[in-house]
């Protein structure tokens, strides 16, 4: 596979951007080699600057549930753009996207659009604090919520801990407002509530944690969080930036039938444009300014072009059988790979939630916590990633990242992917 042009562009990019990229995981640090510079995408396929073609399972990290350059989305965007790209004043397009969401998602009564997942989470946390008058938050090790200061915190040692910041530049005083506990651990959550009685504004969780492997939770654990938040007058915040509109139109809330107090969206909601949102019960959301005293604003919030893209994409997600078909395709992919690699079935596992999949090099039956992921197992992913690239399959360049199947992945794509995955896995483990 030629990568000369990508290599040249990366050298150039390093002169402009820290590490040559505008978001760290793009730099291929965990898989090695040069990042691939994408020239174009169409449907389930992408092409790099060297002319290599790939079947894409990164899908821009999730937003592209209809694949690349979906004709209806492009047409709608082009039509809207002719009338201008931003006004900083209300447009009916905001109403239309909000109406579509609220009508078909019973977990959201009021919504506010912002421009990224990070911004959605940051705002929802401020709202939780403003509404409850408390300052601390509980988060879970292995959940990612964007690069919000007080959420760039990882667990320290011990059951219930103030975390350590996972980034330089986050003041200790911020870190001290965040309590980090393990996923799947009722005891630790109870302990945190005991230790910080009446201080916890919200518990934030990815109900389907998909940013550090795919750590599928027990429904009972999520129900436990709902109950304890109610008992303690704490808000339950579902960060559904990945799972929202992905595992179903009502996201994980709908999948588990658990009503969060606040929910955040991003990724799919913008149809490939920068959109985030937070929403929830009317009574809580009415505390946002100008109705209430929690300030939050945005120059490009509710951008008309982005609203159009989001609305067009979400309308298609609502079509009959849309999510069943996605899940069926993803199961077909995994089953195909497993059938061809039976010999090594104790070496790795696939985890799946709808159209999200993750391969873990483990012999554990379930992986529900970040601590259960063996960092040494990532060397297998590195080899697999290289093999897949050479065979025309693009996955996000890290073994901690999940893959996404889109509406436009064909069975021909899936069959090719099955072949590439299987030959890669057989090669890796036969050579051991």
Ligand X SMILES: *Cc1c(COP(=O)(O)O)cnc(C)c1O
Q: Is residue 190 a contact partner of residue 166, using CB atoms and an 8 Å limit?
A: no
Residue-by-residue DSSP string for 329-373 = HHHHHHHHHHHHTGGGTTT-EEEEETTEEEEE----S---SGGGS
In this chain, which residue has its C-beta nearest to ligand X?
117
Position 266 contacts ligand X (CB under 6 A): yes
Site size toward ligand X (CB under 6 A) is: 15
Q: Does 368 participate in binding ligand X (rule CB under 6 A)?
A: no
Which residue in the set 6, 105, 118, 301 belongs to the binding site for ligand X (CB under 6 A)? Answer: 118
Catalytic residue numbers, as ranges: 144, 239, 267
CB of 127 to ligand X, least distance (A): 16
Distance CA 33, CA 30 (A): 9
Q: Is 241 in the site for ligand X (CB under 6 A)?
A: yes
Task: Determine if residue 8 is left, alpha or beta; phi over 0 gives left, psi from -120 to 50 gives alpha, anything else beta.
Answer: alpha
Rule CB under 6 A: is residue 180 a binding residue for ligand X?
Answer: no
Q: 113 pairs with which residues across the strands?
A: 277
Assess contact for 425 and 348: CB atoms under 8 A.
Answer: yes
By CB under 6 A, tell whether 334 contacts ligand X.
no
116 binds ligand X (CB under 6 A): yes
CB atoms within 10 A of CB 263: 29
State the nearest-atom distance from the C-beta of 207 to ligand X, in Å: 10
From 270, 272, 284, 292, select the one nearest 107 (Cα to Cα): 284
Indicate which single residue of 206, 232, 261, 413 sits in contact with ligand X (rule: CB under 6 A). Answer: 206
- 20 belongs to the binding site for ligand X (CB under 6 A): no
Site string for ligand X, 135-154 (x = CB under 6 A): ---------xxx--------
Q: Contact between 251 and ligand X (CB under 6 A)? A: no
Residue in 59, 97, 121, 269 binding ligand X, rule: CB under 6 A: 121
The DSSP 8-state label assigned to residue 391 in this structure reads T
Which alpha helices (H) appear in 141-210, and where do they start and end? Answer: 172-175, 186-195
Residues belonging to the chain: 432
Nearer to ligand X, 269 or 420 (CB): 269
Closest approach of ligand X to the CB of residue 241, in Å: 3
Q: Measured from the CB of residue 276, what is the shortest distance to ligand X in angstroms?
A: 6
**Distance between CA atoms of 190 and 228, rounded to whole angstroms?**
8
- State the minimum distance, in angstroms, from the CB of residue 311 to ligand X: 18
Q: What are the residues binding ligand X (CB under 6 A)?
A: 116-118, 121, 144-146, 206, 211, 239, 241-242, 266-267, 276
């Amino acid at each position: 596979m030629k990568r000369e042009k990508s290599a040249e562009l990366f050298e150039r990019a390093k002169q402009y951007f820290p590490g040559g990229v505008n978001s760290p995981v793009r730099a291929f640090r965990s898989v090695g080699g040069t990042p691939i510079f994408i020239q174009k995408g169409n449907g389930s396929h992408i092409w790099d600057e060297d002319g290599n073609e790939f079947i894409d399972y990164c899908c821009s990290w999730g937003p592209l549930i209809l694949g690349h350059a979906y004709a209806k989305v492009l047409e709608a965007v082009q039509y809207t753009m002719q009338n201008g790209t931003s006004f900083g004043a209300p447009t009916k397009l905001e109403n239309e996207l909000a109406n579509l969401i609220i009508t078909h998602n019973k977990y959201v009564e009021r919504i506010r659009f912002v421009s990224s997942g990070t911004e959605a989470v940051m705002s929802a946390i401020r709202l939780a604090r403003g509404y409850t008058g408390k300052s601390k938050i509980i988060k879970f090790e292995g959940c990612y919520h964007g690069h919000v200061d007080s959420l760039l915190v990882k667990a320290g040692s011990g059951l219930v801990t103030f975390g350590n910041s996972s980034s330089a530049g986050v003041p200790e005083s911020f870190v001290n407002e965040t309590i980090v506990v393990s996923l799947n651990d009722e005891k630790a959550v109870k302990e945190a509530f005991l230790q910080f009685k009446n201080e916890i504004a919200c518990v934030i969780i990815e109900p389907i944690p998909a940013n550090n492997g795919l750590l599928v939770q027990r429904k009972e654990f999520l129900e436990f969080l709902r109950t304890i938040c109610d008992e303690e007058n704490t808000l339950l915040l579902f960060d559904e930036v990945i799972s929202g509109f992905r595992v179903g139109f009502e996201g994980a809330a709908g999948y588990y039938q658990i009503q969060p107090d606040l929910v955040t969206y991003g990724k799919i909601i913008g149809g490939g444009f920068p959109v985030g949102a937070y929403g929830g019960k009317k009574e809580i959301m009415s505390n946002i300014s100008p109705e209430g005293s929690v300030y939050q604003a945005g120059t490009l919030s509710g951008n008309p072009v982005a609203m159009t893209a989001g609305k067009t994409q979400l309308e298609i997600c609502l079509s009959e059988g849309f999510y069943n078909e996605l899940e069926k395709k993803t199961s077909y992919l995994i089953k195909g790979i497993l059938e061809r690699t039976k010999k090594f079935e104790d070496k790795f596992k696939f985890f799946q939630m709808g159209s999200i999949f993750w391969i873990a090099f483990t012999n554990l039956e379930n992986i529900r916590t970040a601590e259960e992921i063996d960092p040494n197992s990532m060397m297998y992913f590195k080899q697999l990633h290289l093999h897949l690239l050479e065979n025309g399959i693009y996955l996000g360049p890290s073994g901690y990242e999940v893959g996404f199947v889109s509406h436009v992945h064909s069975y021909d794509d899936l069959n090719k992917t099955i072949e590439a995955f299987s030959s890669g896995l057989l090669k890796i483990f036969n050579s051991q």
